[in-house]
C-alpha cells in the first residue's frame, strides 16, 4: 500500500514539472531601452571628436629677411605686434621694374628685371599681399588686396615724429595731434574742422608704411597706399609733423613754421606783384595783388633740389632792382639755409629760375 502511494505521488510530481516547463515562454535577449530620450528641443549627447592641433608656422629662420620686413611693416600699420601677423606664403618672383610692377603714373621706374618675393600675410582672417625685392628694403602692397582694418584693431597712430634726443614727440591720430615728451604726458590738439589735413590724408592713402631717420627727425609712417615714399617725401612728412608740433607747442599756428624760401617780384612792364613762399614740407603758396592765392605741393624732384640748397648753403639774401628808371622791377630772395657754404652765382641763378618756374606752374590751369 505504501509503495502504491509513493509511486502515485512521484507520478503526479513529474506531470506538474512538465506542465510548468511547457508554460514558461521563450525569452529572446533584447537591447535595453535608453534611460533618457532627447525631446524635440534637446540634442542627444554626442562625444565630440578630438580637435586637430593648428599647424605650427615654420621657424622664422626659414623665411627670407624680406618676409620678416613685410610682416613688420604690416604690424606697424595695424598697430599690433609682428608675432600676431602670420606669414602664409612666400613666392620667389622676378618683377619687371624697380617699382615691382606697381608704379604710379607719375613715377619713373627703372625698366630692369628685379628678383624678389610675393608675400602673403594674414591677420585676424584678413589677407594682405606685399611685393618686395630680395632684401625687403623695397616693398609695396598690392593694389588688388584692399587694406581693411579688422574690427577689433585700431591703429596706435597714423604717424609719429620725434627729435633725435626724444625730448619732443608728436603722434598723428585720426582725431588730432598728440604732442609732448617721449614717454611723458601728452596733449591732444584736435583738428579744426574735425578732419585730417589734406596733405597728410593724401600721403596716408597713396604711400605705404616706412620708418626713416631724416634731417627733420625720426618718422614712423603707417600709410595704407601701395607706393614707396621717396627719401624726399619721407623728409617732407617728417617736416610736416615737426611744423605741426612747433605750432601746437607754441600756440602760434599762424606763424611761418618751416619756411624755406621767400621770393618776391614787384613792378616791371607787366606790373608784377607776386610773393612766393615755399615750406620744408613741400607746400607752396603764391599770393598776388591781382589773383587769388594759389597753393600746391612740390614734386619729389623739386623737394630734392630744395633740401640740397637748404642743407648745403648758409643763409641766402638776394636783392635785385632793375636799373631802368620807369617801370623798374625789383626781386628779393631769402633762404634761411642751415649749411655752411657760400652760395655761388650759378646756384643763385638756379634758385631764381626755380622760383620763376613755380610761379608759372601755379598759374598754369
Let me know: does 276 contact 356? Beta carbons within 8 Å: no
Cell of 184: 611723458
pLDDT higher than threshold 70 for residue 265:
yes
198-221 pLDDT, tens digit per residue, is 999 999 999 999 999 999 999 999
Closest to 70 (Cα-Cα) out of 100, 112, 114:
100
Most confident of 96-110, 166-180, 226-240: 226-240
Q: Does position 274 have pLDDT exceeding 50, yes or no? A: yes
pTM over 0.75? The answer is no
pLDDT of residue 361: 92
What percent of the chain has pLDDT above 70?
A: 75
- What is the rounded average pLDDT for all residues in the chain? 80
Collapsing DSSP to helix, strand or coil, 20 comes out as: helix
pLDDT at position 155 is: 45
Of the pLDDT bands very low, low, confident and very high (cuts 50, 70, 90), residue 270 is: low
pLDDT bracket for residue 186 (50, 70, 90)? confident
pLDDT exceeding 90 applies to what percent of the chain? Answer: 47
Task: Encode pLDDT of 94-110 as tens digits.
Answer: 999 988 988 765 567 88
* For residues 189-203, average pLDDT: 87
Q: What is the mean pLDDT of residues 156-166?
A: 86
H helix or E strand, kind and range, residue 66 = helix 65-78
- Nine-digit cell at 330? 625789383
Of 48-57, 79-88, 256-265, which range is least confident?
48-57
Residues 82-100 have a mean pLDDT of 93
Rounded CA-CA distance 163/228 in Å is 23
Q: 313: pLDDT confidence band, cut at 50, 70 and 90?
A: very high
Cα 262 to Cα 338: distance, rounded to the nearest angstrom: 15
Q: What is the pLDDT of residue 310?
A: 97
Residue 300 to residues 7, 199, 218, 234: CA-CA distances in angstroms? 131, 14, 19, 10
Distance of CA 193 to the CA centre of its chain: 23
Residue 17 is placed in which grid cell? 514539472
Res 195: pLDDT: 84
Of 219, 214, 298, nearest to 261 by C-alpha is: 298
How many residues does this entry show for the chain?
Answer: 365
Amino acid at each position: 500500500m505504501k509503495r502504491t502511494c509513493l509511486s502515485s505521488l512521484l507520478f503526479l510530481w513529474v506531470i506538474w514539472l512538465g506542465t510548468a516547463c511547457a508554460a514558461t515562454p521563450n525569452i529572446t535577449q533584447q537591447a535595453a531601452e535608453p534611460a533618457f530620450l532627447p525631446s524635440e528641443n534637446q540634442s542627444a549627447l554626442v562625444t565630440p571628436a578630438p580637435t586637430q592641433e593648428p599647424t605650427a608656422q615654420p621657424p622664422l629662420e626659414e623665411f627670407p629677411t624680406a618676409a620678416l620686413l613685410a610682416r613688420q611693416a604690416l604690424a606697424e600699420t595695424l598697430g599690433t605686434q609682428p608675432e600676431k601677423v602670420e606669414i602664409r606664403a612666400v613666392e620667389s618672383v622676378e618683377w619687371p621694374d624697380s617699382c615691382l610692377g606697381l608704379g604710379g603714373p607719375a613715377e619713373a621706374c627703372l625698366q630692369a628685371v628685379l628678383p624678389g618675393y610675393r608675400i602673403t600675410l594674414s591677420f585676424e582672417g584678413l589677407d594682405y599681399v606685399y611685393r618686395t625685392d630680395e632684401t625687403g628694403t623695397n616693398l609695396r602692397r598690392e593694389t588688388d588686396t584692399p587694406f581693411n582694418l579688422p574690427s577689433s584693431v585700431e591703429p596706435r597712430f597714423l604717424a609719429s615724429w620725434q627729435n633725435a634726443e626724444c625730448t619732443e614727440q608728436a603722434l598723428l591720430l585720426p582725431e588730432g595731434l598728440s604732442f609732448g615728451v617721449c614717454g611723458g604726458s601728452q596733449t591732444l590738439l584736435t583738428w579744426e574742422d574735425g578732419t585730417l589735413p589734406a596733405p597728410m590724408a593724401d600721403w596716408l592713402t597713396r604711400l605705404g608704411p616706412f620708418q626713416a631717420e631724416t634731417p627733420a627727425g625720426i618718422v614712423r609712417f603707417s600709410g595704407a597706399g601701395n607706393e614707396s615714399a621717396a627719401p624726399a617725401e619721407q623728409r617732407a612728412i617728417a617736416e610736416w609733423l615737426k611744423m605741426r608740433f612747433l605750432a601746437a607747442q607754441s600756440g602760434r599756428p599762424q606763424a611761418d613754421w618751416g619756411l624755406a624760401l621767400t621770393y618776391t617780384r614787384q613792378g616791371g612792364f607787366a606790373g608784377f606783384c607776386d610773393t612766393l613762399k615755399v615750406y620744408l614740407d613741400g607746400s607752396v603758396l603764391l599770393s598776388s595783388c591781382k589773383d587769388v592765392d594759389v597753393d600746391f605741393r612740390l614734386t619729389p624732384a623739386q623737394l630734392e633740389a630744395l633740401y640740397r640748397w637748404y642743407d648745403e648753403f648758409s643763409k641766402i639774401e638776394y636783392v635785385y632792382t632793375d636799373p631802368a628808371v620807369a617801370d623798374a622791377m625789383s626781386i628779393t630772395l631769402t633762404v634761411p639755409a642751415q649749411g655752411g657754404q657760400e652760395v655761388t652765382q650759378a646756384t643763385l641763378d638756379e634758385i631764381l629760375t626755380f622760383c620763376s618756374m613755380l610761379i608759372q606752374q601755379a598759374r598754369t590751369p
